Structure 1
Amino acid sequence: MSSEITPGTDRSAIFIVEPTSNHTHSFILLHGLGSNGRKFGEELLETGATPGGKKLTEVFPGARFIFPTARRRRSSMIRHAKLTQWFDIASLDDLFFRPNTQTKGLVESHGEISHLVKDECQKVPHQNVILGGLSHGCAMALFCLFTSWFPLGGFVGMSGWLPFQPDIDGLIGSEAGTSVFDNDAEPIDEDPFSSAEVDTQAEENPILPVIEFYDDLLDSNGIPDINSRGTSLSTPVFLGHGAEDEKIKLSNGEAAQRILKSVGFDVSWKVYQGQGHWYKIPDEIDDIVNFLQEKCNPAFADIQPITGLCV
């Protein structure tokens, strides 16, 4: 591809593929556990083709593709060996085991990724910035999506999960497919320390308890007024998952999309039969391209639809 590539050598290096035409959009995509930005970026941009054979750099010539690399952190899962990871995971069999081990990395990586997003927003409108990732990178990116103070052009997640998902389910009451704010739900005991104003605000903005939960993890000052704080809620979301994923079970992806939908995100959810832990070529790439062109307007309104790509 005729793109300028900016490689790096240290742990904080960012692999960047510059646009082949006028810079109009920026993609910030996060790699999976133990990988790095260069490896993930080169493979995605080389193999991630549509049914018509077009690569993402060809479909979106004005896009700047940014692939950061996570820090090397000690792994609780592999006898404290160091590997590149956005946050520590104690068990792949139970992604929510010992969640306290995840907080430090989530906070540190959140700061680094938020800085990247803000940098790109100086180059293009925030509506033209796409955030996403694969697997562990998808989980990290979802955490950043929920804690963003403004909407992005779109979110693309592949084979991932939502950090602290059981806690979030408890907050919003979505585990059984209903919300704690549903009129038909069973009544719960009144909390004597609750505020009617806060309760009303949460009922009108179901995303509020989730933001507050993540906000506490970031050790910020809280969000007393959700309207003045701003959210990423109008960001369209694509989530794809292999039905035969042997590493990140499909149920984790299903839970993530269910929660995002329950708090108000517009989610496009795709399950790929026969697919393991990776993105499915060309089906998932085609779905991502169509999602960006159909759902992420006006971000991609100036890009002509690709015809003849549907299977």
Structure 2
Amino acid sequence: MLDSVINETGTDPQWAVLWLHGLGADGNDFAPIVPELLRPHWPAIRFVFPHAPVQPITINNGVPMRAWYDIVSMDFRSRADAAGVAASVQALDTLIDQQVAAGIPAERILLAGFSQGGAVILSAVLRRSRPIGGLIALSTYLPDPETAAAQRDPDGIRPPVFMAHGVQDPVIPQAIAAHTAQTLKDLGFPLEWHSYPMAHQVCAEELEALGDWLDARFRAA
């Protein structure tokens, strides 16, 4: 079970957001943005920010750090350790099951991820047959999209996706993220794409757009 930072915005939350951090960070990384996202009329939400396990990272000379999977090369077609991605997807499924057991329907659970965390949630949704409320993919990409798309169940779920990226991102070039977005669209996912003049980070305009997207999810329910 993954240790997590938990922030509930009200009593008896009926929505949950599971938010996975990037390489070398931890669950505290995105916890401070909750007040920036919240809007007065929203329902109570349980934000869960899990800590990834500590493991050696190949491209960082084997230095141990928190990571959802090992990065074995700089080639985006093969850089993500497939076994590590699968293990993190399984850990994420456990987190989802915990929220369902706590009384939050799967249709009201949103998966968010930045960079490595985003790669995990995107991988998870292509392997998932049970419902989920939506995905928030920030400055990220889908590892090995061709294989992931080919192996996907054609009757699998297609939740709405919010995807945002920086034009000047030196870690994950925007072209890689745009290819992921197109792959998801081709698979029938309703995807909202945003691009900002920033590096590998988030910005105020991005959070405002994300707030609008979340607002639409809550209103639709």
TM-score by length of 2: 0.90
* Cα deviation digits, residues 156-199 of structure 1 (max 9, x gap): 1100000112545xxxxxxxxxxxxxxxxxxxxxxxxxxxxxxx
Instruction: After TM superposition, give the deviation of residue 301 of structure 1 in Å.
Output: 3.9
> What are the ranges of 5 or more consecutive residues in structure 1 without an aligned counterpart?
1-10, 50-54, 169-206, 213-225, 303-311
* Cα deviation digits, residues 241-260 of structure 1 (max 9, x gap): 01111111101110110000
* Aligned ranges 1:14-163 → 2 under 5 Å: 14-38=4-28, 40-45=29-34, 49=36, 55-56=37-38, 60-91=42-73, 93-97=74-78, 99=80, 102-122=81-101, 123-163=103-143
* Cα deviation digits, residues 216-260 of structure 1 (max 9, x gap): xxxxxxxxxx65xxx221x11110001111111101110110000
* Cα deviation digits, residues 23-79 of structure 1 (max 9, x gap): 1100001000011112x1333325xx2xxxxx4375645000001111111211111
* Cα deviation digits, residues 256-296 of structure 1 (max 9, x gap): 10000001000001111x21111111x111111111222x2
Name the SS for the 2:25 alignment partner: coil
| Aligned residues with identical type, % of pairs | 25
> Structure 1 pair 261/104, CA: closer, same or farther in 2 (3 Å)?
same
Name the SS for the 1:32 alignment partner: coil
> Structure 1 pair 112/57, CA: closer, same or farther in 2 (3 Å)?
farther
Larger Rg: 1
Paired AA for residue 115 in structure 2: S
- For the 8 Å contact 1:135–1:160, the answer to whether it is kept is yes
- The structure with the largest strand share of the pair is 2
| Root mean square deviation, CA, Å | 2.1
- For the 8 Å contact 2:15–2:43, the answer to whether it is kept is no
Matched, 1:255 2:179: yes
> Structure 1 pair 145/252, CA: closer, same or farther in 2 (3 Å)?
same
- For the 8 Å contact 1:24–1:124, the answer to whether it is kept is yes
- Which has the larger displacement, 148-157 or 134-143? 148-157
Paired AA for residue 287 in structure 1: A
- For the 8 Å contact 2:31–2:49, the answer to whether it is kept is no
- C-alpha separation between the residues in 2 aligned to 1:249 and 1:151? 31
Matched, 1:211 2:201: no
- C-alpha separation between the residues in 1 aligned to 2:139 and 2:64? 23
